[in-house]
Amino acid sequence: MAIKEPIELKWTASGLTYAGLAWGKPDQPVVIALHGWLDNALSFVELAPLLEEYRVVALDLSGHGLSDHRSEDSGYHLWDEIPQLVDVVEQIAKGPVVLLGHSRGASVAILLAAGLADQCEALVLVDGLLPAFGDDRNGAHQVARYVKERKKYLARPERVFASVEEFAERRKQYGFSPDSGIVLAPRALEACEGGFRLRVDPRLFGASALYINREQRSQIYNELEMPVLSLLAGQGLFANSQVARDMVEQAGRCIVHFKSTTLEGSHHLHMEPASVGQVAQCIRQFLIEARAIHAPQSGTPEDS
């Protein structure tokens, strides 16, 4: 029977506290789930119970949910918290793990998989890959934009919403459905005078100073020896975009065991009742196939 109610967990790495939720039993194979931009661990509340053969541990990435914000001399580039996440993974599991990432969390999961090397036995990416939208941007202009926006968002007053519904409605401007806002609200908001304060670090709204370029993406993908599943949303980030098609093509060319499937649904298809069952089914079947790839082959010449 699926376990619907998760337990709260916390870990410390490099002085930062990470919070998370866990479904399943401690002796089951571990899936570590990383949410998307401005989301939190509750984004997996529909999917995790359907992966009932696994212990699913969903983290609040730094600056999100109940996890600590990064210090003012640090930042939120995709690679900034990889050392801390490696430490957290070591606290969660000593053996092999599966990484599951959505959107920005998929990008982080790819870098984390490279950092974990053989400990990551499979990688599942939900409507996300290493981003390519920075390929044609002027590097110097991007650094200037980063500095300007960092100052802007550090100085911005706290965001307070009169109600959870107002928060959910406001998320629509970033392409999120109102329902996803309601689901995420318990970890995204904190009650305060006048309503609900947004927990997310405001620096996450700012631009990145640098991007991973095409050659670097290829180098990273080439090092991923584990099986990789890319689940794309039919109405998500990769719909009707030549840049997105190029991103998928590059990943498929460079990753040795790569499978890409498009499912009906929006960018948050893993949260939607209409699509989450199919997402879970694809992941479960993929992990069975991945296990077969890792299984030792019998009948080698040494056996004869």
Catalytic residues: 103
Span between the terminal Cα atoms of the chain, in Å: 44
**Tokens 């914000």 label which residue?**
69
DSSP string, 107-167: HHHHHHHHHHGGGEEEEEEES--S--TTTTS-HHHHHHHHHHHHHHHHHSPPPEESSHHHH
CA distances from 56 to 29, 31, 139, 161, 222 (A): 8, 5, 39, 31, 27
Q: Which of 105, 123, 125, 103 is nearest to 114 (CA)?
A: 123
Number of H helices, E strands in the chain: 8, 11
- Rounded Cα distance between 42 and 260, Å, is 25
Contact status, residue 22 vs residue 30, Cβ threshold 8 Å = no
